[in-house]
Amino acid sequence: MLKIRLKRFGRKKKACYRIITIDSRKKRDSKAIEEVGFYNPLNKKNKIDIVMIKNRIKKGAKVTKTVKNLIKNNYR
């Protein structure tokens, strides 16, 4: 089962996140199948490819709560 979730990177206490599609059984920072966006909570910059996310959802991917909230808040 595929999930669309966040992958953490950056330094200690200055985290950034990539929005990725990954197998749900793998760890958070494992190799991603596809990168579909970027989220930086420190300066509130987001870059999300909505078309790629919608295509993955149609193919059966599940979206985590956090990513769903990011999409909802930024792309109404």
Q: Express each pLDDT in 11-59 by its tens digit.
A: 999 999 999 999 988 887 788 899 999 999 998 888 999 999 999 999 9
pLDDT computed for residue 18 by the predictor: 93
pLDDT computed for residue 35 by the predictor: 93
pLDDT computed for residue 76 by the predictor: 65
Q: How far apart (Å, rounded) are the C-alpha atoms in residues 57 and 40? A: 23
pLDDT computed for residue 58 by the predictor: 94
pLDDT computed for residue 24 by the predictor: 87
Q: What domains appear along the chain, each with residue ranges and CATH number?
A: 2-74 (3.30.1320.10)
